[in-house]
Every structure is written in structure tokens, then in C-alpha cells.
Amino acid sequence: MMAGRVIAAHGRHYQVELDDGQLRQCYTRGKKTGICVGDYVDIEPQGQDEGRIERVHERRNLLYRSDEMRAKQFAANVDQLLIVVAVEPLFSEDLTGRALAGAFSADITPVIILNKCDLAESLPRARALLSDMNALGVRIIETSTLQPQALRDSLLPLLANKTSLLLGQSGMGKSSILNILVPEARADTQEHSIALGTGKHTTTSSRLYHLPGADGDLIDSPGFQAFGLKHLGQTEVEQGFPEFAHTARIADSIIARTGTNPVVGCWQPKNRG
């Protein structure tokens, strides 16, 4: 048996990086599914470069979304969720709130990256939309891929010694950011696809990359247009939305003064650190 980590998943084929750096194409025994990028596994080597996944180690966490029909896993064993939003096209507040709620409930630290900050005219509007997120204690980092060195300087220290997951709606600049942080990724951006006339630029599956010159991993994920939270209770969902945080702060202060909870059944105040 050899231990490793799943760095890519395509259907039921998994690319596993073994502890010694060796890469193997792996599959599972029988119909076992549900393994995802970031999972630590034990494999039984098969031939030169294949293997069979025999065991999935217990996960520290798992980020996923779910709707009426099914659950979709983003990644496992993640320290940090980087939610990429852009000045233009303007991001969805609802999706951002849902991603935040998903991260909080999975015990993953969210960070918002506001990209395309070179678009000065629309920047104030995007900043105003995000200012409420401060109420949730979420760190916001402003970037522009037109200034790659500044982008590296502000993001790389944050990524050291951690596994971070890049998530965002398509068009926000995820692939462009990934290419600056991990040049060997050579992720297709919208620009490439327009130049090539292929119209095909979307990342279709998640993949884990090592940051060059630093200990830290970055997982790229397909863009998302939905973030169902069927698996969470209302209280957990509300934790991603500043308007509820406002209610919670008022509730917390009333509790501190009077010892009674004014919003029983609506919000369970919680120590959010």
C-alpha cells in the first residue's frame, strides 16, 4: 500500500500524487464514488503507473453544494476558501453569501479576492457591495491581474503552508489569477478561447497545484452558477449574509445586557471569534 493525495478527478478516474512525488492514474474498486480532489488515500499500485484506491482517509472537512437533485463536491481537506469576485462583470451577492455560508459551516476560512481593481470607474460600486462583508469578519484582498507582481505579493504569503481552494463565477478572473500564481497551470482564460476561436475556456474539473517556491497548494475548480445549501440549516445559511450578521450583533448586545435572547427561533447567537 502507498499513501498519497488525489490531485485531479475526472469521473471515476483519479490522479493521485504519492508521498514520494510519483503520479499514478487510479481507479476505485467496484462502484465506490464520492472521492474528490484533496482527499488523502491509500492505493495498491498496479503496474508501472496505475493504482487502485483502497482507502480514503478521514476528511478534515469537505466543501460541497447540494440541491434537490444531488450534491456536488468541490474539494476536501481545505484550509482556506478564496472566493474570487470581480469589479466587472459585477458578481452575485447571493452566490457570494452562499459560498461564505458553505465555508463557515465546513470550518474553512473564507477570503474574498476582489479582482479587476484596475477598472477604476466601477470599483467604488463593487467596494460598497463588499463593505458589508466586513461585518462578517471576512478578509477582502484587492487584486488586478494587470499587476502580476503586486498580486503575487499580496496573495502568496496568505497561501503558504495551506491548501486553498479557488472558487468563483466564470468571468471573474480565476484562471488568470491561477496562471500568475502557478505558471505551469497554463489554465485557459476567456481571452485565450476568444483568440483561438474555440469558445471553450471553462475549467471542467478541479485540480490541485503546488505553489512554486513555497509550501502551499492551490485547488482550481470549475466556475459555478449555483451554490445550493440544501445540507445546511437556516441558521448556518444566514451566517454568510451580512444583513443577518447585523441582526445577530444586535441580538448579542441585547443578550449581553439583559441575558435574554430577543430573536429566539430566528438566530442562534454564536461566538464567531
Ligand X SMILES: Nc1nc2c(ncn2[C@@H]2O[C@H](COP(=O)(O)OP(=O)(O)O)[C@@H](O)[C@H]2O)c(=O)[nH]1
Residue least distant from ligand X (Cβ): 173
Which residue in the set 67, 94, 118, 243 belongs to the binding site for ligand X (CB under 6 A)?
118
- C-alpha distances out from residue 239 to 25, 67, 121, 122, Å: 39, 19, 31, 27
Nearest to ligand X of 76, 172 (CB atom): 172
List 44's β-bridge partners, or say none: 52
What is the closest distance, in whole angstroms, from the C-beta atom of residue 175 to Mg ion in the complex? 3
List 241's β-bridge partners, or say none: none
3-state secondary structure of 204: coil
What is the closest distance, in whole angstroms, from the C-beta atom of residue 138 to ligand X in the complex? 19
Which residue in the set 15, 163, 164, 175 belongs to the binding site for Mg ion (CB under 5 A)?
175
Nearest to ligand X of 119, 255 (CB atom): 119
Interface pattern 223-242 for ligand X (x via CB under 6 A): x-------------------
CA distance 86 to 171: 8
**Residue 97's binding partner out of ligand X, Mg ion, none, with CB under 5 to 8 Å set by partner kind:** none
List 209's β-bridge partners, or say none: 218
Which residue in the set 19, 94, 107, 191 belongs to the binding site for ligand X (CB under 6 A)?
191
Nearest to ligand X of 41, 181 (CB atom): 181
List 72's β-bridge partners, or say none: 65
Within 57-116, which residues bind ligand X (CB under 6 A)? 115-116
Which residue in the set 190, 247, 261, 268 belongs to the binding site for ligand X (CB under 6 A)?
190
> Using the 8-state DSSP alphabet, how is residue 89 labeled?
T
Asked whether position 176 contacts Mg ion by CB under 5 A, the answer is no
**Residue 115's binding partner out of ligand X, Mg ion, none, with CB under 5 to 8 Å set by partner kind:** ligand X
CA atoms within 13 A of residue 112's CA, in its CB half-sphere: 29
Nearest CA among 138, 156, 150, 36 for reference residue 83: 138
Interface pattern 116-155 for Mg ion (x via CB under 5 A): ----------------------------------------
3-state secondary structure of 131: helix
User: Phi and psi for 246 in degrees, rounded to 5?
Assistant: -60, -50
3-state secondary structure of 127: helix
- C-alpha distances out from residue 69 to 181, 223, 225, Å: 35, 19, 16
Nearest to ligand X of 73, 115 (CB atom): 115
Tell me which residues touch Mg ion (CB under 5 A).
Answer: 174-175
Tell me which residues touch ligand X (CB under 6 A).
Answer: 115-116, 118-119, 144-146, 168, 170-176, 189-191, 201, 223
